[in-house]
Amino acid sequence: MTHRQHQEAADQTTPAQQGVQADARPNARKVFMRTYGCQMNVYDSERMNDVLGTEGFSATDSMEDADLVILNTCHIREKASEKVYSELGRIRKIKEERALAGKDMMVGVAGCVAQAEGDEISRRAPVVDLVFGPQSYHRLPELLAKASGGAKVVETEFDIDAKFEHLSERAARPVLKRPPAAFLTVQEGCDKFCTFCVVPYTRGAEVSRSVEQIVTEAKQMAASGVREITLLGQNVNAWHGLGANGETWGLGRLLRRLAEIDGLDRLRYTTSHPRDMADDLIEAHRDLAELMPYLHLPVQSGSDRILAAMNRKHTRDEYFRLVDRIREAAPDIALSCDFIVGFPGETDQDFQDTMDLIRRVEYGSAFSFKYSQRPGTPGATMSDQVPEDVKSARLLELQELIANQQTAFNASRQGMTCNVLIERKGRHAGQVVGKSPWLQPVAIDGSEDLIGTIQAVEITRIAANSLFGRLIAGHHDLIGSTADGHQGGGI
Ligand code: SAH
Ligand code: SF4
Ligand code: F3S
């Protein structure tokens, strides 16, 4: 994923090498999967692919060829969930064409729209055979069997523990080749109920996976070629689990444990809530070379009044103090954020407070959105909804400031040497692309056999959203070196 795709617009077909293998079995039933929304959906799609792989499916990136189409959906803003219905319109036509050729096609809607809207989806779009929420992916074979019997299937029960229990069984199966950077969900759901947000309703209550489950999965990922893991959770820094000795671990301790795994050279985590940033986690940024100097720490607004109305449960001053503590522990860290403009009741002054916060913090990058009224959330029925044109003007102003900060941050890397994990082929022949420690995409002239290695790279040129670099160590993998840009060390 590119830097910008980090939050939304993951919209993508799941790469064939993840889970179900493309063309591995030419006569196998084929699945086409499209993933919308956040990184957790990307992870979930991979896990669905794992399940479908054992059911004899192989992947296709052509919908026309698919016996099964799955849309893994996002409900976070109105635009995100409306995308699903326009896509279902297209799918209906393809399904009809296939039927004329005597071929079946089963259509499933998974993810957060499935959870939020349930049977409303197949009512509005009869092409849909199967609606299933994020907690039921381990039951996919059984749900598919039911649906192929002709029944419309809707499954929106919450049972996160059962999901992880069953999905963890992949550890016991033969290892498939994975991309060098991958996601691992450690925490799912949310108990915070920010007044704008659907996630507590679509992902359910906050649940942490056990240390043992996470370590087992991480080892298995490392054994299959993964060099960098991003731990995922809606409130990832609220993760807590029981260690073998019966003590409760926090995320800092988990990161220290994962850093010991052979072959796992880089760790990241997202998304963190400012209220759950424990000392131990901040210290991990100071102490762990494997923990990359990047932190996504959404604040949403810089106005105390709006923060209270959003139910974020902290003030702007508390956020400033937290940022200071983090920068003290890891001076080189790139901070990233999410902002919402036009939350109900937001005045010009409130908005200017947000702009002031951004100027004071100085971000490496950030995501920003116009407030979207989501059915069932308290914000949707608040008075003082902000007019669309005001939201648009504020978003533009905010995004200009963020773009300038991002450009300045990127420019500050010019001439530096840092480690880059090479992840994929570039757009041009003879070019590969990887990530800097600060999560910036870096394009380098080099051959494909560098993919999966970590290279020392000199940053030679800066573009709007990415960097260009030059290999300085030849084809030499820097495992175990300290030149990862951590705390400015080795740069
Ligand atoms: N757990 C994360 C946020 C997950 S949702 C946190 O607490 O920060 C990802 C982002 O989508 C949010 O940070 C917020 O900026 C945005 N978002 C969520 N609901 C929204 C809404 N109703 N309108 C606009 N943006 C929204
Ligand atoms: Fe949504 Fe708030 Fe939970 Fe984040 S913390 S997922 S914004 S309710
Ligand atoms: Fe979207 Fe669900 Fe993620 S609403 S942002 S896919 S948790």
CATH number at residue 176: 3.80.30.20
Give the distance (Å) from ligand 1 centre to CA of residue 425: 32
Q: Is 322 in the same domain as 371?
A: yes
Provide the pLDDT for residue 150: 84
Distance 189 CA to ligand 2 centre (A): 9
Ligand 2: residues with CB < 6 A are 190, 192-194, 197, 199-200, 234-235, 273
Residue 198 lies in a domain: no
Question: How high is the mean pLDDT of the chain?
Answer: 89
Q: Is the pLDDT of residue 206 over 80?
A: yes
Residue 38 annotated as binding? yes
Q: Whose CA is nearest to atom 2 of ligand 2?
A: 194
339, part of any domain: yes
Domain final residue pick, 391, 412, 433: 412
| C-alpha to C-alpha distance for 473 and 478, rounded to whole angstroms | 9
Question: Ligand 3 centre from 100 Cα, in Å?
Answer: 36
Q: What is the distance between the terminal CA atoms of the chain, rounded to a whole angstrom?
A: 25
What pLDDT score was predicted for residue 476? Answer: 53
Question: Which of 257-266, 297-306, 482-491 is least confident?
Answer: 482-491
Is there a binding annotation on residue 418?
A: no
DSSP β-bridge partners for residue 417: 458
CA of 75 to the centre of ligand 3 (A): 6
CATH number at residue 133: 3.40.50.12160
Structural domain contains residue 281: no
- Pair 306, 269 in one domain: no
Predicted confidence band of residue 169 (pLDDT cuts 50, 70, 90): low
Q: Is the pLDDT score of 275 beyond 50?
A: yes
Q: What per-residue confidence (pLDDT) applies to 425?
A: 95
Residue 480's pLDDT band (cuts 50, 70, 90): very low
Give a yes or no: residue 287 inside a domain. no
pLDDT of residue 171: 42
Q: Are residues 141 and 10 in the same domain?
A: yes
Where is the domain boundary, 100, 135, 157?
A: 157
The verdict on 218 and 250 lying in the same domain is yes
- From residue 15, how far is each of 18, 47, 123, 177, 424 by CA, in Å? 6, 12, 31, 12, 12
Q: Does the annotation list 112 as a binding residue?
A: yes
Residues 271 and 335 in one domain: no
Report the nearest-CA residue for atom 3 of ligand 3. 38
The per-residue pLDDT for range 251-268, each reduced to its tens digit, is 999 999 999 999 999 999
Ligand 2 probe mutation, 74, 197, 198, 337, most atoms within 8 A of CB: 197
| Shortest-distance ligand to the CA of residue 71 | 3
Q: Which residue's alpha carbon is nearest to atom 5 within ligand 1? A: 76
Nearest CA to ligand 2 atom 1: 197
283 Cα: distance to centroid of ligand 1 (angstroms)? 27
Relative to beta strand 106-110, strand 68-73 is parallel
Domain-located, residue 199: no
Closest listed residue to residue 431, CA positions, set 452, 450, 448, 445: 445
- Distances in whole angstroms, Cα of residue 39 to Cα of each of 4, 94, 263, 351, 420: 12, 28, 23, 28, 21
In a domain, 196, yes or no: no
Do 399 and 480 have their domain in common?
Answer: no
* Most confidently modeled range among 50-64, 155-169, 270-284: 270-284
- The answer to whether 25 and 1 are in contact (CB under 8 A) is no
- Both 317 and 233 in one domain: the answer is no
Q: Can you give the residue range of the structural domain that contains 436?
A: 417-488
Query: Quick one: pLDDT at residue 477?
Result: 55
Ligand 2 atom closest to the Cα of residue 234 is: 6
Domain contains 389 = yes
Contact (Cβ atoms closer than 8 angstroms) between residue 293 and residue 179: no
Residue the block writes with tokens 């003290």:
328
What pLDDT score does 80 carry? 87
- How far is the centre of ligand 1, averaged over its atoms, from the C-alpha of 197 (Å)? 6
CATH of the domain at 468: 2.40.50.140
Indicate if 394 and 424 belong to the same structural domain: no
Same domain, 148 and 50: yes
Task: Please check whether residues 369 and 424 belong to one and the same domain.
Answer: no
Percentage of the chain beyond pLDDT 90 is: 79
More confident site: 27 or 122: 122
Is 337 annotated to bind ligand?
no
| pTM of the model as a whole | 0.91
Q: What is the number of domains present in the chain?
A: 4
* 335 shares a domain with 459: no
**485 pLDDT tier (thresholds 50, 70, 90):** very low
Q: Are residues 472 and 394 in the same domain?
A: no
Report the nearest atom of ligand 2 relative to the CA of 193.
Answer: 8
**pLDDT of the residue at 488:** 27
74 is in an annotated binding site: yes
**CATH number for 347:** 3.30.750.200
- Looking at the predicted structure, is the pLDDT value of residue 484 above 70? no
Per-residue pLDDT at 123 exceeds 80: yes
Residues 154 and 131: beta-carbon distance below 8 Å: yes
**Looking at residue 474, what is its pLDDT?**
54
307 falls within a domain: yes
Is it the case that residue 16 has pLDDT exceeding 90? no
pLDDT category of residue 164 using cuts at 50, 70 and 90: confident
* Boundary of a domain, candidates 359, 390, 412: 412
